[in-house]
Amino acid sequence: MKRLVISFIAILAFVGCTVKPQQPTKTAIGMPYEAFVIAPDEAWDSGLDSVIYRSLGARVLGLPRPESYFYVVDHRDPQRITSMDRKYANLLSVNINVAHEEPSIMVADNVYARPQCVVTVNAPTAEAAKEYIAEHGGEICGLFEIAERNRSLSDSRRSSTPKLMEQFEKHLGLNMHIPAGFGRANSGDRSLLWFMRDYEKKAQYIFAFSSEYTDPSDLTGEWLERMLINKLAVVHSDKPGSYMTISQNAPIYWSELVINDRVWYEMRGCWEVTFDQMGGPFVSFSTLDDESQTIKTILFALYAPEEAQRGLMGELEYLIYTVK
């Protein structure tokens, strides 16, 4: 199974018109992964509401508990919209007008506030809008996801840990931004680089390691999963005999994607620690380095049993977009 992966190229091909960013002075409101909808009441009450809730509320794959891509905060008719409503960071506007011959979509940044992503769906009728959003809900989610990713990376780039970034580059031969708060942890195995940002009741992990490439079969999902299991086995908790591994009791999702002109093989699912009560979501990215004939892997993992995990995982996995 493959998760929803929307590339910049696919989105730009899908979007009818992308409006250049504006420079509003107001600051956007709302929590991460929230969306506000502007749509005529008549269309909303005719079933558009359920279509939008299903589309934006699609489940995020690879998390131990069900969480949605986006939470719809509220809806407002265009005639009743307020200046406060327009300030939401993620704004979905549905424009019903018979002048539109067929449904289309427009995307604009920073229209009413900053930072903001406004996705406008134009359609001649409410029925056409419902059909269009039902068919293209994944792309709409992808547009908002890119906006969330850009905000997260903008925040993380305000601080860094140069020493850890140097260690990361020396170990893996790739440069990646490491935000403040991370420290180096010791697994006892020099081949595994492990950074950890530890809180009272949660922790974020970054692992980096290389594996020898010998055959094209090394890049299959089954081989990569075995490789991760072997590498993570050197990570232990305080319990005797414990070790970190990939959970076989949760689905594993694979996808192949291109990020910054590099092909990555992605795997996401859940990890656990044998003989202990620890576990959580993970996502790994593996890429073939032709020059060294090695498979380089970056794995992000989260332990946060008492919190929503979608945003905390986003903070981690978005870092893959900083790799050079």
Report domain extents, the chain.
8-156, 162-322
| pLDDT score, position 21 | 54
pLDDT single digits (tens) 270-316: 999 998 889 999 999 999 998 999 999 999 999 999 999 999 999 99
| Token pair 């692992």: residue | 207
Tokens of 254: 């694979």
Residue 220 has pLDDT above 60, yes or no: yes
Question: Is pLDDT larger for residue 237 or for residue 23?
Answer: 237
In terms of CATH, what superfamily is 162-322?
Mog1/PsbP, alpha/beta/alpha sandwich (3.40.1000.10)
For residues 215-230, average pLDDT: 88
Distance CA 172, CA 30 (A): 38
Residue 255 has pLDDT above 70, yes or no: yes
* Residues 3/253, Cβ–Cβ less than 8 Å: yes
DSSP at 28: P
| β-pair partners for 35 | 72
For residues 215-222, average pLDDT: 82
pLDDT single digits (tens) 146-193: 999 999 999 999 999 999 999 999 999 999 999 999 999 998 899 999
